[in-house]
């Protein structure tokens, strides 16, 4: 079997869907955050495979930007979740209820 | 290639770094006065920018300096200065380093300035993330308050989710068209109109931007974040972050994908209408002032989307004009809330009782802000809503699309609903029955000054619309529809 662009894209869509599912279904903030990273990496995979099959380098360059930004986002995000955990002794979304609807 | 075009952004970044380093050099009790340094620098940059209207592009067209970018850059500079005045008032409530807070405002501002000039998907992504990640920290800056942390985490999760959609959308659009640059994308986009992957990509990009402007159905974070975040952060979020979302939305829809925008007019109409109704209806039962303003901000995203849905230069000009009025109005409202929270420790509307006797200036500012938000003449909000509705009805007459008439009717209904809760606030100020405390509220010079600037701005934009409207029309012409 010859692996083509569509295979990579299918994997990328699947990763994205899995990540989205994780964000919706999971109740632990850290797991939700991991699922979000999965979604970002799905986009990276799509970019790299488009880049490879279309012979254009823009996508590869953009991936570097995305990786850098995601690292910054993780740094801030984990710090926030840890700060919340210290205050609340819990990292579950059900406990985020101090503001009324 | 002309890198000197971005000297404004570079200066703002230098300012941010200087403010951060000043933390080591300035004695703790004097640090809050660093805000004056920041305001003076931004003021000098604004005055330089007013005299200089060079246009051009840099970095192979990724960075564009046109009338639209210049309009928004001035807008963001004014917003940041007003927010800095507000954070000066707020500084004693922030436990962590106040100079960090100021430098984060400068960094968020630099992100907004880059967003105003973004003409490339890579630039769009990086500027959006610069704004969003800075706002994660600004939102949760009061680490000792649980609500602030909670607001930060909620903003973090939903913000990261929307950036994932944005990135995936960019990947799909780039993958199908092979173009990241908006101007070049516009040339080839027409042949991809039936390509499903391309359309999904565009939709995902719009999801990411819809989160920034708080349009339905991506508005869930707004009330909690507005309620929990420190007040100056909320004000900056309501004005700066929203406006940055709108400038990017305008560029993506009208510079990069004008044909797609024409086909998706109905989608824009529906989103705009639902956003207006959702914001206004949910604001009705609110008693917490900041939560109320959060829902009101959703409804205003809907009004602003009228200008996008109109798909015409008049609509875009009306949007820009409305944003200018909205800037002064919202900052005025949050300024009063900021002072009020400090002296009353309450955000409930009932806390406003007797405000007209305790501090006539604050009462006047908040009343005028509510009147302007509700859209009553002669304030800025009235003329802005009028222009937006006019643009929508004109478009309906040209296209014979009844959706536009329905949208105009929905917007009018939204305005009528909003009168109830805006006047609820005014009633609480002047006609409350049980007034517990009538001691006067002392106001610092910076608050007085900022309040006067906001009042003057609201009246000036409302009474003499021609100046701002001309600027807005010039800016909208840059969008080449």
The full DSSP string for B268-322 is HHHHHHHHHHHHHHHHTT--BHHHHHHHHHHHHHHHHHHHHHTTSHHHHHHHHHH
Q: Which two tokens stand for residue B264?
A: 């998706």
Domain definitions of chain B by residue range: 266-481
Q: Which two tokens stand for residue B206?
A: 């719009």
For B118, phi and psi rounded to 5 degrees? Answer: -70, 130
Closest in B147, B149, B223 to A80, CB measured = B149
Q: Are B284 and B421 in contact (CB under 8 A)?
A: yes
Which has the minimum average pLDDT: A97-101, B352-356, B419-423?
A: A97-101
User: Per-residue pLDDT tens for B225-234?
Assistant: 999 999 999 9
B346: three-class secondary structure by DSSP: coil
Chain A residue at shortest CA distance from B134: A76
Which domains are seen in chain A, by residue range? 5-89 (1.10.287.3510)
From chain A, the residues in CB contact with B152 under 8 A are 80, 84
- In the numeric block, the tokens 């931004």 are attached to B42
Average pLDDT of chain A to the nearest whole number: 90
Q: How far apart are CA B17 and CA A67, in angstroms?
A: 23
ipTM of the complex model: 0.96
From chain A, the residues in CB contact with B227 under 8 A are 99
Q: Are B245 and B295 in contact (CB under 8 A)?
A: no
Closest in A32, A47, A96 to B171, CB measured = A47
Q: Are strands B63-65 and B56-58 parallel, antiparallel or unpaired?
A: antiparallel
Containing B369, the helix (H) or strand (E) segment is helix B360-374
Strand-pairing partners, residue B56, are: B65
Instruction: For residue B56, give the DSSP letter.
Output: E
Chain B residue at shortest CA distance from A91: B153
Q: Are B304 and B375 in contact (CB under 8 A)?
A: no
Asked if residue B132 has pLDDT above 90, the reply is yes
Asked if residue B261 has pLDDT above 80, the reply is yes
Q: What percent of chain B has pLDDT over 90?
A: 61
- Most A-contacting residue of B140, B157, B169, B182 (CB-CB within 10 A), to test interface: B157
Which has the minimum average pLDDT: A5-9, A37-41, B55-59, B78-82?
A: B55-59
User: Per-residue pLDDT tens for B198-253?
Assistant: 999 999 999 999 999 999 888 899 999 999 999 999 999 999 999 999 999 999 99
Asked if residue A22 has pLDDT above 80, the reply is yes
B139: three-class secondary structure by DSSP: helix
What integer pLDDT is reported at residue B46 of this predicted model?
92
What integer pLDDT is reported at residue B399 of this predicted model?
85
Chain A residue at shortest CA distance from B292: A101
Asked if residue A66 has pLDDT above 90, the reply is yes
Average pLDDT of chain B to the nearest whole number: 90
pTM listed for this prediction: 0.94
Q: Does B168 contact A42 at a Cβ distance shorter than 8 Å?
A: yes
Closest in B143, B157, B291 to A83, CB measured = B143
Asked if residue B299 has pLDDT above 90, the reply is yes
B64: three-class secondary structure by DSSP: strand
Mean pLDDT of A21-29: 92
Chain A residue at shortest CA distance from B142: A83
B144: three-class secondary structure by DSSP: coil
- The conformational region for residue B61 under phi > 0 = left, psi -120 to 50 = alpha, else beta, is left
Mean pLDDT of B384-390: 93
To the nearest whole Å, the CA of B85 is away from the closest chain A CA by 26
Chain A residue at shortest CA distance from B220: A101
Rounded to whole angstroms, what are the CA distances from B455 to B271, B286, B330, B333, B422?
A: 32, 25, 11, 10, 17
Q: Are B117 and B64 in contact (CB under 8 A)?
A: yes
Closest in A16, A40, A98 to B146, CB measured = A98
* Beta carbon pairs, A and B, within 8 Å: 119
């Amino acid at each position: 079997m010859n692996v083509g662009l569509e295979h990579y894209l299918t994997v990328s869509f699947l990763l994205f869907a899995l990540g989205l599912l994780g964000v919706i279904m999971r109740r632990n903030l850290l797991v939700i955050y991991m699922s979000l990273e999965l979604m970002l990496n799905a986009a990276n995979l799509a970019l790299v495979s488009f880049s490879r099959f279309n012979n254009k380098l823009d996508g590869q360059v953009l991936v570097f930007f995305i990786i850098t930004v995601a690292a910054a986002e993780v740094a801030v995000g984990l710090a926030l979740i840890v700060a919340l955990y210290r205050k609340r002794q819990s990292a579950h979304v059900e406990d985020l209820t101090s503001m009324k609807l | 290639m002309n890198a000197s075009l971005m000297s404004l952004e570079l200066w703002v970044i230098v300012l941010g770094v200087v403010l951060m380093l000043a933390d080591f050099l300035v004695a703790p009790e004097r640090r809050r006065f660093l805000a004056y340094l920041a305001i003076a620098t931004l003021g000098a940059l604004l005055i330089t920018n007013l005299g200089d209207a060079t246009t051009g592009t840099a970095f192979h067209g990724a960075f564009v300096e046109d009338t639209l970018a210049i309009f928004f850059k001035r807008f963001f500079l004014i917003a940041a200065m007003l927010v800095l005045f507000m954070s000066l008032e707020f500084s004693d409530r922030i436990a962590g380093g106040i100079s960090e807070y100021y430098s984060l405002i400068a960094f968020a501002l630099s992100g907004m300035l880059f967003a105003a000039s973004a003409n490339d998907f890579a630039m769009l992504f990086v500027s959006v993330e610069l704004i969003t990640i800075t706002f994660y920290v600004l939102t949760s800056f009061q680490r000792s308050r649980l609500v602030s942390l909670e607001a930060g985490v909620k903003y973090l999760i939903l913000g990261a989710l929307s950036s994932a959609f944005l990135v995936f959308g960019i990947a799909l659009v780039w993958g199908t068209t092979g173009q990241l640059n908006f101007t070049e994308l516009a040339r080839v986009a027409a042949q991809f109109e039936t390509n499903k992957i391309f359309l999904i990509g565009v939709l995902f990009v719009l999801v990411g931007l819809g989160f920034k402007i708080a349009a339905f159905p991506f508005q869930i974070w707004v009330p909690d974040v507005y309620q929990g975040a420190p007040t100056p952060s909320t004000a900056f979020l309501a004005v700066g972050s929203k406006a940055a979302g709108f400038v990017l939305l305008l560029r993506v829809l009208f510079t990069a994908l004008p044909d797609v925008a024409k086909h998706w007019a109905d989608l824009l109409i529906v989103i705009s209408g639902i956003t207006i109704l959702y914001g206004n209806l949910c604001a009705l039962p609110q008693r917490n002032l900041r939560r109320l303003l959060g829902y009101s901000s959703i409804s205003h995203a809907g009004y602003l989307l009228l200008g996008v849905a109109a798909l015409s230069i008049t609509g875009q000009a009306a949007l820009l004009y409305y944003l200018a009025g909205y800037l002064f109005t919202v900052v005025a409202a949050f300024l009063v809330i900021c002072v009020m929270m400090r002296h009353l420790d309450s955000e409930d509307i009932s806390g406003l009782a007797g405000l007209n006797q305790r501090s006539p200036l604050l009462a006047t500012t908040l009343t005028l802000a509510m009147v302007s938000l509700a859209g009553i003449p002669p304030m800025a909000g009235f003329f802005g809503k009028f222009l937006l509705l006019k643009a929508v009805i004109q478009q309906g007459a040209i296209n014979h699309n009844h959706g536009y008439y329905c949208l105009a009717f929905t917007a009018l209904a939204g305005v009528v609903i909003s009168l109830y809760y805006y006047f609820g606030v005014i009633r609480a100020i002047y006609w409350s029955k049980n007034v517990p405390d009538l001691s006067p509220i002392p106001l610092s010079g910076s608050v007085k000054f900022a309040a006067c600037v906001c009042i003057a701005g609201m009246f000036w934009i409302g009474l003499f619309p021609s100046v701002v409207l001309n600027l807005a029309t010039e800016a909208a012409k840059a969008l080449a529809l």
